[in-house]
Structure 1
Amino acid sequence: MDGDRRGWRQCLLGGAVFAVCMAGTTLPTPLYGLYQEKFGFSEQTVTVVYAVYAFGVIGVLLLVGNASDAVGRRPVLLWGLGCAAVSAVCFLCATGLGWLYAGRLLSGLSAGLFTGAATAYVMELAPSGGASRATFVATAANMGGLGCGPLLAGVLAQYAPWPLYLPFAVHLALVACSAAVLLRLPETVRERRPLSTVRPQWPGLPPQVRAVFGPAAIASFVGFALFGVFTSVSPAFLAQSLNVHNHAVSGLVVALAFFASTAGQLAVGRVGVGRSLPLGCAGLLAGLALLAGALRWDLFLLVVLSAIVGGGGQGLAFRGALSAVAEASPADRRAAVISTLFVVAYAGISVPVIGVGVLAVHIGLEDAGLVFIACMAVLVSTAAVYLLRRPVPART
């Protein structure tokens, strides 16, 4: 019994460290408008600054995504915290656009190092027989941390002094505390190898996975693209079109999408993998429709509903996609297939978001958003139709 309590305590502490790191990746979200005023760059530049993060994540996943299996979980997580700390320093020292690019790239590196390693670490710290609860801890830490970032930054920027400095100073302190906690937690990889044995883990797609992978990848791409637009341009839309200049409100709207995604992922256990992917696609389509209504009629309520419905759909779709793809993959290729799915998902955060920024320069933010929604709706509808014709086998 004491061993179980100690295991769950360590599992929760590992989850807290995970959440702190992920919060740093979304911390700048409600602050981009302030950076625009300070440095005088366009909405297109905001989307590029945001998307640099995804390139960092993809690079780490491809090159050293399996490093923690060799050198251990704690060293990789400490590297991730180091990247998060240097990212915060870049934002604290920012005197121009280059600092923002560097901060976002380092933030992406930290997320790439944490995503796989921290999920595995949290699950390994849990007592035997607690896999389901440990998965909940890892999921809540990941998406909950992403949601807490803009909420924390928005509240501090709105109600405390030094809006462009205090959020990152607070995060830097949290990272230092997380490093101290991590150093007291046990290592879970027993047989460690030198870093020189780690090889790039290139994407792979065995033939038996392709039928499942197509709709799963489309749903993941659209879900992450929706998050990308919310976290990069929704604060600007709220300010320009809805006259909402409260940074705490902007941060809360973005946070709602991530919190709803957490709820959607947790619902997969009850809904089942077979139904979660098509239901997730339906949720994404509904979220896109609500966002289109918000852009068309300038209604704040529809923005909030879009965040909740679209976030829930993203959670259902992504966890369903991940489970379906993992189940269909042969054991010796599973890691490569999952890496491929993550690469597609993070491409959704970057490519469409940059496209919205480019279009916004020429046709305005609202019309650019509507073009984005139309394209994403076609993609997710295609995936939904395919799933109706060839459903994923039902599993619990």
Structure 2
Amino acid sequence: MSQTGRSRMQTPPADERIDSRGRSFAAAALAFAVVMLGTTLPTPLYAIYSEQLGFGVLTTTVIFAIYAAGVIFALIVFGRWSDVVGRRPLLLVGALLSAVSAVVFLTAGPVWQLMIGRILSGLSAGIYAGAATAAVIELAPPRWQGRAPAIATAANIGGLGMGPLIAGLLAQFAPAPLRLPFALDLVLLVPVLVGIWFITEPVDVRADAHLSLQRLSVPAEVRGVFLRAAIAAFAGFAVMGTFTGVTPSFVSQVLGISSHAVAGLLVAVLFLTSALTQIVGRSQPTERSLIVGCAILVVGMAVLVVGLLVASLVLLFIGAIISGVGQGLSFSKGLAAVVAAAPTNRRAEVTSTYFVVAYVAISIPIVGQGFAAAQWGLRTAGVGFNIAVGVLALIALVLTVVAVRSGRRPRQR
């Protein structure tokens, strides 16, 4: 048989390749959502853990901060690996780490075991932040390519939002509240692992490529844009951190509501609102949307402060919605501004630096809030924290307005 004949036999028809690409795209998006869902499953369960194991808000914040440390470690160490060895191996590793984390929580006893589970969960999230985002965009069929970044965002933030909602409902209305959510997570990870195994590898892996750490830096010409965008990102992720780590304690101790479903729903509202805002606002002008996002975040903080002072669940839900809109706009448009301003050959390191700043915001501040709660009470600590976040968002707002009015505009997307 001729070489041409063998090539024709080995090359699948065009429609078969498109179907395979569509399945790979769906598998990558599902994996992204399920892995991120697993990272926030413990959120409404912290109140139960603290009651059974006898620890307070400070320990809860430390457990949550350990997760953020795992994310940052994975971003730096594994951030570039999927470009070298391919997306598929990193997606498999991230999903397996998520499964091991679920097993650790499923069998959890002492506090140190919870910490190990959170470290593993953070590593899985850090790997997926880069590898899964790239895989979803690269594997999108032609008719979906324009919407692929929005789908990656929906899978990421939407998965984060569904975790506390599912765990809260199961903890409230089903048996074994500290076991069933993680058993369900393991069940969901089975089709994820099967799907990843069969996806088409979108990266042309080179045999001579070398693994390396992700460099973090901000070129001098980008620092002005980066500063105001990073301040906004820090503020927005600090809000996400406090909602994920401390909100269940707020609901039970400040509001006197013992419902795990309510605590999970309150956290989910913030994340899902953020995801929806990022998708809806993706075509809006970068600078104007960044200004509007920071302004909305300031308003959201004010509403949350009042909600804590008067112990109003309704105001906390309204504040969560407003803050989710502000966080979604300020973070996504801040990232767009940074990417647009960065030199093409240094976008990866600038973007990685931006994400590291964001994840630092869900580690150090929340531990500080835990210390403050131990000294002055949860309500006082929450009010002070939200005021500080509002001030940061206001600073980012002022810096952006001044930059726009003075004509120092970053290049538009």
Which amino acid is 1:41 matched to? Answer: F
Distance in 2, Cα, partners of 1:126 & 1:4: 10
- Are 2:60 and 1:46 equivalent residues in the alignment? yes
5+ residue gaps, structure 2: 1-13
Q: Find the aligned partners of 1:361 and 1:187 in 2 and give their Cα distance.
A: 50
Matches within 5 A, 1:76-87: 76-87=90-101
Query: Which position in structure 1 is the counterpart of 2:376?
Result: 363
**1:118-141 CA deviation, whole Å, 9 max, x = no partner?**
000001111236432111110100
Relative to the length of structure 1, the TM-score reads 0.97
For 1:212, give the aligned amino acid: V
2:292 is equivalent to residue 279 of structure 1: yes
Whole-angstrom CA distance in 2 between matches of 1:389 and 1:100: 45
Aligned partner (choices 298, 305, 309) of residue 296 of structure 1: 309
Give the Cα–Cα distance (whole angstroms) in 2 for the partners of residues 388 and 348 of structure 1: 23
Distance 1:388 1:17 in 2: 39
Look up the match of 1:108. 122
**What letter is aligned with 1:13?**
A
Residues 65-85 of structure 1 show CA distances to partners (whole Å, capped at 9, x for unaligned) of 110000010100110011101
User: Normalised by the size of structure 2, how large is the TM-score?
Assistant: 0.93
What's the CA shift for 1:181?
Answer: 1.1
Letter in 1 for 2:341: A
Aligned pairs for 1:115-130 within 5 A: 115-128=129-142, 130=144
Counterpart in the other structure of 2:345: 332
Q: 2:267 aligns with which of 206, 230, 254?
A: 254
Match of 2:282 in 1: 269
1:388 is displaced (CA, Å) by 0.8
Identity rate of aligned residues, in percent? 47
Q: Which amino acid aligns with 1:57?
A: V
Which residue number in structure 1 is paired with residue 151 of structure 2?
Answer: 137
Q: Which amino acid aligns with 1:200?
A: L
Alignment of 1:313 onto 2:330: no
Of 235, 256, 273 in structure 2, the residue corresponding to residue 243 of structure 1 is 256
Count of paired positions: 395
Equivalent position of 1:70 in the other structure: 84
CA contact (8 A) 1:267 1:316 kept: no
**Partner Cα separation in structure 2 for residue 220 and residue 129 of structure 1:** 32
1:132-156 deviation digits (Å, cap 9, x = unpaired): 2111110100011000100111111
Please state how far the C-alpha of 1:263 moved relative to its aligned partner.
1.5
Residue type at the aligned position of 2:158: G
Partner in structure 2 of residue 181 of structure 1: 195
> Per-residue displacement from partner, 1:76-102 (whole Å, max 9, x unpaired)?
011001110111111111110010000
CA RMSD of aligned residues (A): 1.5
Contact 1:77–1:113 (CA<8 Å) still a contact in 2?
yes
- The 8 Å contact of residues 17 and 182 in structure 1, kept in 2 or not, is answered as yes
Are 2:171 and 1:157 aligned? yes
Classify 1:192/1:306 alpha carbon distance in 2 versus 1 (closer, same or farther; 3 Å). Answer: farther
Deviation string, structure 1 residues 262-308 (Cα, Å, up to 9, x no partner): 12211333422121211110121111111101111101111101111
Post-superposition offset of 1:395 = 3.3
Q: Distance in 2 between matches of 1:192 and 1:116?
A: 19
Aligned mates of 1:211, 1:265 — CA distance in 2: 23
Q: Is the Cα–Cα contact under 8 Å of residues 47 and 357 in structure 1 kept in the other structure?
A: yes
Q: 1:192 to 1:82 in 2, by over 3 A?
A: farther
Q: Secondary structure at the match of 2:46?
A: helix
- Does structure 2 retain, via aligned residues, the 8 Å contact 1:55–1:105? yes
Q: Is the 2:341–2:410 Cα contact (8 Å) retained in structure 1?
A: no
Contact 1:280 1:314 in 2 (8 A): yes
CA shift in 2, pair 1:380/1:78, >3 Å? same
The residue that corresponds to 2:230 in the other structure is: 217
**Is the 2:228–2:399 contact (alpha carbons within 8 Å) kept by the matching residues of 1?**
yes
Tell me how far apart the structure 2 counterparts of residues 229 and 242 of structure 1 sit (CA, whole Å). Answer: 16
Render the CA deviation track for 1:225-269: whole Å, top value 9, x for unaligned.
000011111111111121221111111110011111112211333
